[in-house]
Amino acid sequence: MADQEFKGKIEQALDNSTLRGALGRFGEFYEKAREQVYEGYDFQALRDQVAEVKSYAASHLDEMLDQFERAATARGAKVFRAETGEDANRYISELALKHKVKSIVKSKSMASEEIHLNDALAAKGMDVQETDLGEWILQLCHQTPSHMVMPALHMTKEQVADVFTDHLGRINDPDIASLVKTARSELRSKFLEADMGISGANMAIAETGTLMVVTNEGNARLTATLPRIHVFLVGVEKMVPKFEDAGCILQTLPRNATAQAITSYVTMVTGPTPVYMPDGSVRDKELHIVLMDNGRRKMYADDKFKKTFQCIRCASCLNVCPAYQLVGGHVYGHIYTGGIGTILTAFLNEEKFAENPQNLCLQCGKCAEICPGRLDIPEMILELRTRFAQKKGLPFTQKFALDIVANRRLFHSLLRVASLAQKPLTKGQPVIRHLPMFLSGLTEKRSLPAIAPVPFRDIFKSIPQNIKDVKGTAAFYAGCLVDFVYPKIGEGVIAALNDKGYKVVFPEGQSCCGAPAVYMGDKPNAKKSAMLNIEALKAEGVDYVVSACPTCTHALKDSYPALLSGDPAWEERAAVLSRKALDFSKLLADLGGLPEGGDGLPLKVTYHDSCHLKRKMGVYREPRAHLSRTAGIELVEMYESDHCCGFAGSYSIKFPEISAPILEKKIKNIEATGADVVAVDCPGCLMQISGGLDQARSPIKVKHTAEILLEKRHRQKNQKLS
Amino acid sequence: MLNQGERPKNLYEGFREKLTAMAGECSRVRRAEDIAAFLIPFFRENKIRTVGLAESPLTRAGGLRERLQGAGIKVTTDNIRQAAPGVEAGITQLKWGIAELGTLVQIGTNVDQRLLSMLPPLHVALAQTSELVPTVAEALRLIHSLPEIPGFVGFITGPSRTADIERVLTIGVHGPGRFLALLVDEDVREGE
């Protein structure tokens, strides 16, 4: 759980309008620009290659390092293996002392920031100059990067002008072109004077001993050309087996990082090249390559974090992260920021520094969708969260709530009590603004629906299922929200499946799917829920298990097999359930979809993609098809329809301050469509969005696809019958 | 094996389109001797009077140094470390062009050639039209097919740029603020 100091940092970041503006503008620009720059390219095939190339190098790391060392040494480079950051700092400092180095120019190297190389060199009396413009600005004002690719993203031109004015002792106007000019001339003289250059690398090619650097400014080229000594500091995860393997990384890194087809420069260094010595003679320079571990192997040895070696440090996971877009990089506390940064911090700095920032992940999966290395960052963050929870336990209130949820009888009777207890609060409205007991945190900054007077499990028995020709049986898994808050969704599911010839059963023993426990890192309670539901649903006896909540479906399909893997009593049953569990819209599509039909009454509908349905199950065409085939419905797309609504389960309780602005943006995008109804396939999104619309006093309604189909198609049937 | 975009029908047109989209300039002449005929008015128009030149097959075949000097332009070919930071343009010959990106590939083993491509505010890059290849994959294969990977290989796509202040694209931070690719159709090989 996030501590107070961390909460304070978030508040500060949210109050910083400069930061919010810069992050917001970049986020808007990035997603579209990235898509455009991939036009004509098969991104999926490219990322498959990246993952293959990088994972091969990782699984043959010693071989790669040896091969690289041999190749680079054969070309005249000196290779040093640094176990730790201190080893690397010591080697580079001693090298500089030995060669009487006074001034050093650096092109961008996150690895050097990770180990505080500048401080180590400054302690030996050396003048160390960052030359990447953003890094230089931060060096002058003693700040850390807020983004891995665009380090000074958080600063305005006015702030930069002030920094330059202080540093240079003369007034600098806040004009970007002239600020850049100033930087050019200041740093140009540094380049010309420097005895040593230090660079990071994006790739180290094992086959040829080549280092590749991808840049826009040209500082890496100058660093590799002017000083008489050149040191590359390279993390061991940068290995790439073959020279031609670089192709897929060159195609994805700039596109994903800054939405460029290629950067202005790619620099490839293989062995020392001739350089001008201070006496004017031309000789081969000294080239040193430091291959640094500093926690990386430990990360690879951990089964759950192996894939971090597939990361090419494009930082696109930051660019699309809804939380990062609001709070920026500094709240992450260390030099590596955003989703991947949280994981890197845990292994390359200290695990405890990741404890707060891991909470920021909404588990929306947007980053996994665009990651060129095919890393599932949300899964890794969830793993960190689970480990923290196992080690330190959850705070009492959270634990208490999760224990209740895992106890079906207690949880369900509490919900029934709540349904009665809320009565004085609802004032006849369909929403309440206060909830009793442990759910009270939910009501901050939005309205919540009232708990249904009669839960679906009680309504179910009275729903007639008239099917002429029964083709099979589906067990309905309702999940808490359908069961106790939105029972009408359940009626819609049954009506649609009956239309397809399937009889629906409601296994009584079912309870919460365990997702809240999973996402808070409470594995024991998550397991309890898994077993309870597997037992209750008895998937072995039905053709399908259908749910109308993608988070629940994801739990049944993916979380249960993972939670119970290796447990002989449960493994097989979990696998059966996983195979048969489908989300409503997907099952309906698999069964052939609904025929053309509907009441024909005009209704403008826009569709919001739930994170779990789109990104965990790849389902987004299906619900749109069901809606489009319903007479009267005009489907209009909203902007950023697959961006998270900010609900993310308990996230909206933990971080209402982040959840609220994410929701606000969603509401704006919905309102801009002019739709009468927002269709969703997730009752969590439904609750969040209807709360937001209610607060905005919008007349737009939110409905589950199943509910809309029921209204538009069965009203017609009823009319026909009468 | 590498995934690539649609192959442009005409390599030069594809190259030019991509390079100009990256704020680079691009022109094409038929013969090596046309280089000077193109550059002299170009320099005059841009008030460029001093250039640093890294001699290469194309510059020699085109008699570039003599022709530029004849037009009153001061041409420096030696003492480049001292001269390069001060000249108004650097002229170098680069090796291949990559049509899918608008990129020129620099074999930069020669330090003077490299300095002239980096330090002056304008970089004029000469290359042979016949050395255009469609894709990055092809270029990597060609580099790898050399007897050894050259000590310094640079991909250059337009001028030096930064967006580090407020995400505003600004041209010419550490490297050249202008980049002109001049492609020559005539095939010139050393020794001919």
Residues A335 and A373: beta-carbon distance below 8 Å = no
Number of Cβ pairs < 8 A linking chain A and chain B = 189
Cα of A421 to nearest chain B Cα, Å: 53
Identify the DSSP state of A616: I
| A18 or A243, higher pLDDT | A243
Joined tokens for residue A82: 């640094």
Could you identify the residue written with the tokens 């380049």?
Answer: A191
Judge: B167–A25 Cβ closer than 8 Å, yes or no: yes
Cα angle: A479, vertex A485, A488; to 5 degrees: 85
Identify the DSSP state of A10: H
User: Is the backbone of residue A451 left (phi > 0), alpha (psi -120 to 50) or beta?
Assistant: beta
- Widest Cα–Cα separation across chain A: 102
Which of A68, A180, A242, A245 has the highest number of chain B CBs within 10 A, making it the mutation to test binding with B? A180
- What's the residue count for chain A? 722
| Cα–Cα distance list, A617 to A140, A611, A641, B153 (Å) | 47, 9, 16, 44
The gap between the terminal CA atoms of chain B, to the nearest Å, is 37
Strand partners, B161: B171
Whether A553 shows a pLDDT value over 90: the answer reads: yes
pLDDT at A244: 98
Cα of A718 to nearest chain B Cα, Å: 54
pLDDT at A710: 95
Q: Which residues of B touch A156 (CB under 8 A)?
A: 166
Whether A429 shows a pLDDT value over 60: the answer reads: no
pLDDT at A413: 78
Rg of chain A over Cα atoms, rounded to whole angstroms, equals: 29
Using DSSP bridges, classify how beta strands A196-199 and A229-235 pair: parallel, antiparallel or unpaired. parallel
Residues A206 and A64: beta-carbon distance below 8 Å = yes
Judge: A221–B18 Cβ closer than 8 Å, yes or no: no
* Number of C-beta neighbours around residue A707 at 10 A: 25
Q: Which of A192, A222, A251 sits opposite B3 (nearest CB)?
A: A251
Cα of A461 to nearest chain B Cα, Å: 56
Cα of B125 to nearest chain A Cα, Å: 14
Given the candidates 3.40.50.10420, 1.10.3720.10, 3.90.550.10, 2.60.200.30, the CATH classification of the domain at A56-292 is: 3.40.50.10420
Quick one: which of A595, A596, A561 has its CA closest to A576?
A: A561
Whether A605 shows a pLDDT value over 80: the answer reads: yes
Judge: A176–B168 Cβ closer than 8 Å, yes or no: yes
Joined tokens for residue A474: 């589906």
pLDDT at A52: 98
Quick one: which of A266, A271, A215 has its CA closest to B109?
A: A271
Identify the DSSP state of A124: T
Cα of A40 to nearest chain B Cα, Å: 5
Q: Which of A153, A264, A272 sits opposite B160 (nearest CB)?
A: A264
Joined tokens for residue A310: 């597939």
Task: Tell me the pLDDT band of A556, cut-offs 50, 70 and 90.
Answer: very high
CA dist B165 and A180 (Å) reads 9
CA dist A10 and A406 (Å) reads 32
Q: List the 94-153 stretch of A: residues with Cβ below 8 A of B.
A: 131-134, 137, 150-153
Q: Which of B110, B137, B161 sits opposite A264 (nearest CB)?
A: B161
Residue B25's φ and ψ, nearest 5 degrees, are -110, 155
Question: What is the chain A residue with the closest CA to B149?
Answer: A270
CB-based contact, A274 to chain B, within 8 Å: yes
CA dist B158 and B168 (Å) reads 17
Task: Tell me the pLDDT band of A715, cut-offs 50, 70 and 90.
Answer: low
Mean pLDDT, range B46-66, rounded to an integer: 97
Judge: A179–B165 Cβ closer than 8 Å, yes or no: yes
CA dist A218 and A223 (Å) reads 9
**A247-266: pLDDT as tens digits:** 999 999 999 999 999 999 99
- Widest Cα–Cα separation across chain B: 52
Cα angle: A451, vertex A455, A457; to 5 degrees: 155
CATH class of the B11-184 domain in this structure: alpha beta
Sequence letter at residue A413: S
Quick one: which of A665, A704, A651, A663 has its CA closest to A682?
A: A704
Cα of A332 to nearest chain B Cα, Å: 20
Sequence letter at residue A450: A
Quick one: which of A149, A147, A123, A108 has its CA closest to A233?
A: A108
CB-based contact, A566 to chain B, within 8 Å: no
Judge: B175–A218 Cβ closer than 8 Å, yes or no: yes
Return the CATH architecture of domain A603-721: 3-Layer(aba) Sandwich (3.40)
pLDDT at A716: 52
Sequence letter at residue A168: L
Residues A678 and A711: beta-carbon distance below 8 Å = no
Q: Which residues of A touch B122 (CB under 8 A)?
A: none
Whether A722 shows a pLDDT value over 80: the answer reads: no
3-state secondary structure of B181: strand
Quick one: which of A62, A114, A56 has its CA closest to A310?
A: A56
Which of B7, B87, B164, B179 has the highest number of chain A CBs within 10 A, making it the mutation to test binding with A? B164
CA dist A450 and A397 (Å) reads 22
Sequence letter at residue A171: I
CB-based contact, A191 to chain B, within 8 Å: yes
Could you identify the residue written with the tokens 């969704």?
Answer: A489
CB-based contact, A179 to chain B, within 8 Å: yes
Quick one: which of B115, B141, B158, B37 has its CA closest to A192?
A: B115
Q: Which residues of B touch A152 (CB under 8 A)?
A: 164-165
Residues A156 and A138: beta-carbon distance below 8 Å = no
Query: Which residues make Cβ contacts (< 8 Å) with residue A682, sequence separation at least 6?
Result: A549, A550, A551, A610, A612, A613, A704
Alpha helices in B46-91 (DSSP H): 57-61, 64-70, 80-83
Domain ranges of chain B: 11-184
**A367-385: pLDDT as tens digits:** 999 999 999 999 999 999 9
* Number of C-beta neighbours around residue A713 at 10 A: 24
- Return mean pLDDT, chain A: 92
Q: Which residues of B touch A17 (CB under 8 A)?
A: none
DSSP letter string over A220-285? Answer: HHHHTTSSSEEEEEEEGGGEESSGGGHHHHHHHHHHHHHS-SS-SEEEEE-S--EEE-TTS-EEEP
Whether A424 shows a pLDDT value over 70: the answer reads: no
pLDDT at A421: 58
Which of A135, A216, A243, A258 has the highest number of chain B CBs within 10 A, making it the mutation to test binding with B? A216
Task: Tell me the pLDDT band of B192, cut-offs 50, 70 and 90.
Answer: very low
Q: List the 7-26 stretch of A: residues with Cβ below 8 A of B.
A: 22, 25-26
Judge: A225–B114 Cβ closer than 8 Å, yes or no: yes
Strand partners, B52: B76, B90
Query: Which residues make Cβ contacts (< 8 Å) with residue A462, sequence separation at least 6?
Result: none
CA dist B192 and B178 (Å) reads 32
CA dist A442 and A647 (Å) reads 10
Q: Which of B111, B159, B164 sits opposite A264 (nearest CB)?
A: B159
Whether A64 shows a pLDDT value over 50: the answer reads: yes
Task: Tell me the pLDDT band of A445, cut-offs 50, 70 and 90.
Answer: low
Judge: B155–A134 Cβ closer than 8 Å, yes or no: no
Joined tokens for residue A511: 């309870």
Whether A688 shows a pLDDT value over 50: the answer reads: yes
Residues A698 and A675: beta-carbon distance below 8 Å = no
Whether B1 shows a pLDDT value over 50: the answer reads: no
Q: Which of B2, B151, B162 sits opposite A133 (nearest CB)?
A: B162
Question: What is the chain A residue with the closest CA to B80?
Answer: A276
**A178-190: pLDDT as tens digits:** 999 999 999 999 9
3-state secondary structure of A638: coil
pLDDT at A531: 97
Whether B5 shows a pLDDT value over 50: the answer reads: no
Task: Tell me the pLDDT band of A428, cut-offs 50, 70 and 90.
Answer: very low
Whether A441 shows a pLDDT value over 60: the answer reads: no
Crossing angle of helices A61-74 and A43-59, rounded to 10°: 90
Quick one: which of A264, A261, A272 has its CA closest to A219?
A: A264
Strand partners, A81: A291
Quick one: which of A649, A582, A592 has its CA closest to A619?
A: A582
Mean pLDDT, range A45-52, rounded to an integer: 98
Strand partners, A211: A204, A269
Pick from A112-126, A329-343, A392-406, B158-172: least confident: A392-406
C-alpha atoms less than 13 angstroms from C-alpha of A144 in its C-beta half-sphere: 16
Quick one: which of A247, A563, A180 has its CA closest to B137?
A: A247
CA dist B30 and A220 (Å) reads 34
Q: Which residues of A touch B167 (CB under 8 A)?
A: 22, 25-26, 29, 150, 153
The gap between the terminal CA atoms of chain A, to the nearest Å, is 57
Which of A267, A268, A281 has the highest number of chain B CBs within 10 A, making it the mutation to test binding with B? A268
Cα of B51 to nearest chain A Cα, Å: 19
| B43 or A653, higher pLDDT | B43
Residue A162 CB burial class (10 angstroms; 0-12, 13-18, ≥19) = middle
Q: Which residues of A touch B115 (CB under 8 A)?
A: 225
Rg of chain B over Cα atoms, rounded to whole angstroms, equals: 16
Residues A460 and A506: beta-carbon distance below 8 Å = yes
**A145-173: pLDDT as tens digits:** 888 888 998 898 999 999 999 999 999 99
Q: List the 206-225 stretch of A: residues with Cβ below 8 A of B.
A: 208, 210, 216-219, 221-222, 224-225
CA dist A511 and A312 (Å) reads 42
Which of A221, A269, A270, A276 has the highest number of chain B CBs within 10 A, making it the mutation to test binding with B? A221
Instruction: State the ipTM, two decimals.
Output: 0.95
**B71-129: pLDDT as tens digits:** 999 999 999 999 999 999 999 999 999 999 999 999 999 999 999 999 999 999 999 99
Whether A1 shows a pLDDT value over 70: the answer reads: no
Which of A262, A275, A325 has the highest number of chain B CBs within 10 A, making it the mutation to test binding with B? A262
